[in-house]
Structure 1
């Protein structure tokens, strides 16, 4: 759920002022959506589909999983994962107003499994030594962010880890991955891929 990055363009649709967590411990919790360039929260229907996929692929076992939301924005994807009980959800966001909002939400919920990093997704991914069971990539559209972060995002996956990509067009599975699921909602294409163990 991206926020502003180097000059971002507005989405063709206006961002809602609030979205809600759709499942888990924090179900129905409203998430404020700041009026920032490029902010494009993942629609409820898309999040519901993604977490249905994950629930199936992980056999309902979210506990013990680690998740990186590399373009956190409103935090909807990262907090959705935290709500389902993952061991840790790391939310990375460059905009300081957005990270302040995320910090306030974490404090209000008492979400101890959420870590918030103020910084650039590419820089974080290139420097982190952590490995994640799921990396969420939902960058601003039209800025070639995926080309810049995909290699380091793949390196940040655990063996058999999964990569979620949200984009304005279908994304071919990068070498070393297999496409597990894909769908489209309006102008948003989204897909879930798995790293081959030998490529992680």
Structure 2
């Protein structure tokens, strides 16, 4: 881990303008940063779509996914994080990177998503704490309140034993992999023209 005080660690950005930068994170209960290997695969999948994108990170934790997206020239990131200390650390890390095009909102992601969205997003990260049933609720709210732009890409990371992930018919699965205890998928949202 890191040379930080006990009970803390680091997240490493693997590509883009901040490649190899290491940033401090708090070692909090349930915090499970997406591994470098999974992140590398994910951002290979997103390679042609990330630059200029509006990104929504629904359960940010360490911020590994949104920071990686911003490093690769995403236009803006809205970052939701429940735990106050993790949200504060994310804000500090963004200041360290001199990154003004991100907003951290501290609070319950499901409550933050449960209202109309003024401007939609192109890439959405759903990587909730495992075994709490949060992924399906999050997906439902994203659809209900129109958080997704047409052709948006949605990344969903869950525990591998989760078998009842419910996605709307407008979401087409484009990639699906498993790494140990983690199952991760990429969907593309296409508006139903008949609606």
**Partner residue in 2 for 1:78:** 66
Alignment partners' CA distance in 2, 1:46 and 1:16: 22
The C-alpha deviation readout for 1:12-68, integer Å capped at 9, x for no partner, is: xxx982220000011111132312111000000001000000114x3xxx3321000
Aligned length: 182
CA distance in 2, matches of 1:148, 1:104: 29
Normalising by structure 1, we get a TM-score of: 0.85
1:177 maps to which of 171, 179, 190: 171
Residues 185, 85 of structure 1: CA spacing in aligned structure 2 closer, same or farther, 3 A cutoff?
A: same
Structure 2 unaligned residues grouped into runs of 5+: 1-6
- 1:149-186 CA deviation, whole Å, 9 max, x = no partner? 11122331101111110001364643211001111111
| Equivalence for 1:92 | 80
Q: Is the 8 A contact 1:92 1:117 kept in 2?
A: yes
Select which of 65, 68, 90 maps to 1:102.
90
RMSD of aligned alpha carbons: 1.9
Counterpart for residue 150 of structure 2? 159
Matched, 1:118 2:106: yes
Aligned equivalent of 1:187 = 181
Deviation at 1:130, TM superposition (A): 2.6
Pair 1:140 & 2:129 matched: yes
Contact 2:15 2:72 in 1 (8 A): yes
Q: For structure 1, which runs of at least 5 residues remain unmatched after alignment?
A: 1-14
Alpha-carbon shift at residue 95 of structure 1 (Å): 0.8
- Residue 3 of structure 2 corresponds to none
**Is it true that 1:150 corresponds to 2:139 in the alignment?**
yes
Instruction: Give yes or no for contact 2:139–2:167 (8 Å, CA) kept in 1.
Output: no
User: For 1:47 and 1:16, how far apart are their aligned partners in 2?
Assistant: 21
